[in-house]
Amino acid sequence: MNKIEELKNPDITKPILLFKEDDYEIYWLGLNQDSAFRVNVYLIKSGDEAVIVDPGNRNFFEPIKNEVINILGTTDKVIGAIFCHQDPDVSASIVDWLDIRPDMKVITSPRTNVLLPFYGTKGEYDFFDITKNDFIFSNGKSLSFIPAPFLHFPGAFTTYCNTSKFLFTGDIFAALDIEWSLIVEDFETHKMAMDLFSKDYFASNIATRGYAMKIENLDIEAVLPQHGSILPKKFVKDGIEYLRDLQCGLDLIYPYLKD
């Protein structure tokens, strides 16, 4: 069951359950951050297995690890981590996670995978190529992947949970906001916070509109970005429309080159 709509003033100092269906659960892992550039880390638990979504930078490793242990009882159940692109706010803690879970799968795109070892990973690791297959847990639950080129990295992608119908979007739908809340309450106001990120980081309207076309017919219960606030179902269509119309990046730098 999608629990996002039920959340009213949640305690953001601890993990928050966003979805539960039998032994399948999705959590937002709370981080106490006094910054407009907030980072969201998520945990998908499927039976006795779990995957971390965008585990964050090295400073976040210990608090995130402790929250994972609070939920799972151990880190041994972490069988993989998703890295939507290679930036340090998403991926730098890969070295710490591989230190304690050397057999976990590094779930990412080939372009991202080329760069991750530069954080100082030791030896080979188990690379799961998102361009080839869905990720399937032992109990049959699955995650699908949607390429999102140049939003903002050529190898960027998003993750769709086929059970919860949650879309984990990395930097897409990211927002910068001092007056942050976990769930978007007013989309028109939130658009200004998304503009602060999207207009500078994304390549062009071709990139945002192309991705919008990929997801416009997808059944989406919520959008879970890596920065900013979660878009509940009632704002999903507004979010897609925002991407479709967005002028950003090269559109703003070279407006005189438009047809």
Which parts of the chain sit beneath pLDDT 70? 34-37, 259
Dump pLDDT digits (tens) for 61-83.
999 999 999 999 999 999 999 99
Residue 177 is assigned to a structural domain of this protein: yes
Q: Is 259 domain-assigned? A: no
Distance between CA atoms of 71 and 60, rounded to whole angstroms?
17
Enclosing domain of residue 239? 4-254
Q: What is the pLDDT of residue 1?
A: 81
**Is residue 241 in some structural domain?**
yes
Q: Is residue 188 part of a domain?
A: yes
Distance of alpha carbon 221 from alpha carbon 167, whole angstroms: 8
**Tokens 């050529």 -> residue:** 154
Q: What's residue 90's pLDDT?
A: 87
Number of separate domains in the chain: 1
- Any domain includes 245: yes
**pLDDT at residue 259 in the model:** 65
CATH number at residue 120: 3.60.15.10
Residue 157 lies inside a defined structural domain of this protein = yes
**Residue 31, in any domain of the structure:** yes
β-bridge pairing 105-108 and 126-129? parallel
pLDDT value, residue 153: 94
In a domain, 138, yes or no: yes
Q: Can you tell me the distance from the alpha carbon of 105 to that of 209, in angstroms, rounded to the nearest whole number?
A: 31
